[in-house]
């Protein structure tokens, strides 16, 4: 029987392509992409105490504390558009955050882990550029704009995310290994959750579409 509901978690190190895959999945299955990174970045643009606090963690490549993240995710997941499913992109990132899903009665159908080696991550993240106008992402090596460092759509200069400099990127990868990697075992053991490990390198060999095809095939085989 064809599946109609997808409550997905995208797990993977920074630069593994979670954001790109979340957008493709969101369009394909018509369910919202919930990127806690995007929610936090929007918060940092507010002139507020919370915005300043969050920004302090993000620019250093540190994780925002669990209590705050759990409250943010819980509020977002309670919105109407999540009723038929969602794609969690960047949450949970700690065991405490993962447990909060169960504690709040939020069940997960599938966890997709994007596996990419540290060297590739470093190359991908430090080459990443973003358009400050439309948020379109580029990579100076794998997906460059037509004109050097200018957005193809908006014609404005691309920027590097504050936390994509090499020192901070290394720290973010280290934090992934320490805090987020243990979630693989956590989800593998959790009953009712289907765990899929996907080779995220395919995005370099072919295109992100290759990774997307693999994810869809895994999800649809698991659900049939
Ligand atoms: P991302 O856009 O997912 O790479 O997230 C960017 C930054 O936002 C991370 O380096 C963290 O500082 C913060 N962040 C995003 N999601 C979480 C989370 N679930 N827990 C803690 N910090 C987070």
pLDDT one-digit tens code per residue, 104-119? 999 999 999 999 999 8
Cβ 57 under 6 angstroms from ligand 1: yes
- Ligand 1 atom showing the smallest separation from residue 38 Cα: 2
**CATH of region 6-116+165-222:** 3.40.50.300
Q: In this structure, which long-range contacts are made by residues 121-127, counting pairs with CB atoms below 8 Å and at least 24 apart in sequence?
A: 121/13, 121/14, 121/15, 121/16, 121/169, 121/173, 122/15, 122/166, 122/169, 122/170, 122/173, 124/15, 125/14, 125/15, 125/164, 125/169, 125/172, 126/164, 126/165, 126/166, 126/169
Q: Give me the mean pLDDT over the 87-91 stretch.
A: 98
Q: For residue 220, how far is its CA from the centre of ligand 1 (angstroms)?
A: 29
- Cα–Cα distances (Å) from 99 to 17, 64, 174, 200, in that order, read 24, 16, 22, 26
Cβ 63 under 6 angstroms from ligand 1: yes
- Ligand 1 atom showing the smallest separation from residue 61 Cα: 10
Q: What is the pLDDT of residue 173?
A: 95
Cα–Cα distance for residue pair 28/16, rounded to 1 Å: 20
Comparing CA positions, the residue from 12, 13, 29, 14 lying closest to residue 195 is 12
Cβ 17 under 6 angstroms from ligand 1: no
pLDDT digits (tens, 9 = 90+) for 11-41: 999 989 999 999 999 999 999 999 999 999 9
Q: What is the pLDDT of residue 221?
A: 87
Q: Are 91 and 194 in contact (CB under 8 A)?
A: no
Answer yes or no: is pLDDT of 224 > 70. Answer: no
The preferred substitution site among 35, 39, 58 for testing ligand 1, maximizing ligand atoms within 8 Å of CB, is: 58
Residue with tokens 């794998």: 142
CA-nearest residue for atom 8, ligand 1, is: 37
Q: Give me the mean pLDDT over the 177-188 stretch.
A: 98
Q: For residue 1, how far is its CA from the centre of ligand 1 (angstroms)?
A: 36
Q: Give me the mean pLDDT over the 190-199 stretch.
A: 94
Q: Are strands 85-89 and 137-139 parallel, antiparallel or unpaired?
A: unpaired
Instruction: State the average pLDDT for the chain.
Output: 92
The preferred substitution site among 14, 90, 126 for testing ligand 1, maximizing ligand atoms within 8 Å of CB, is: 90
| Strand partners for 128 | 139
Per-residue pLDDT band for 162 (boundaries 50, 70, 90) equals confident
Q: What is the pLDDT of residue 223?
A: 63
Phi and psi at 159, nearest 5°, equal -125, 165
Q: For residue 128, how far is its CA from the centre of ligand 1 (angstroms)?
A: 17
Residue 162: how many other CB atoms lie within 10 Å: 14
């Amino acid at each position: 029987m064809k599946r109609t509901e997808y409550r997905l978690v995208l797990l993977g190190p920074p630069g593994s392509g979670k954001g790109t895959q979340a957008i493709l999945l969101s369009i394909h299955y018509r369910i919202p992409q919930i990127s806690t990174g995007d929610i936090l970045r929007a918060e940092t643009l507010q002139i507020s105490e919370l915005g300043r606090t969050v920004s302090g963690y993000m620019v250093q490549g540190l994780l925002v504390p669990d209590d705050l993240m759990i409250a943010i995710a819980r509020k977002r997941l309670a919105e109407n558009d999540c009723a038929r499913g969602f794609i969690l992109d960047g949450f949970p990132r700690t065991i405490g955050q993962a447990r909060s899903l169960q504690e709040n009665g939020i069940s997960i159908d599938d966890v997709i882990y994007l596996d990419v080696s540290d060297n590739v991550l470093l190359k991908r993240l430090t080459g990443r550029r973003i358009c400050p106008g439309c948020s379109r992402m580029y990579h100076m090596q794998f997906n460059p704009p037509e004109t050097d460092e200018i957005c193809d759509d908006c014609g404005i200069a691309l920027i590097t995310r504050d936390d994509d400099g090499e020192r901070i990127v290394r720290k973010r990868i280290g934090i992934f290994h320490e805090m987020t990697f243990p979630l693989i075992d956590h989800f593998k053991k959790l009953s009712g959750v289907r765990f899929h490990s996907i080779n995220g390198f395919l995005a370099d060999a072919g295109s992100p579409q290759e990774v997307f095809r693999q994810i869809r095939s895994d999800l649809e085989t698991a659900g049939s």
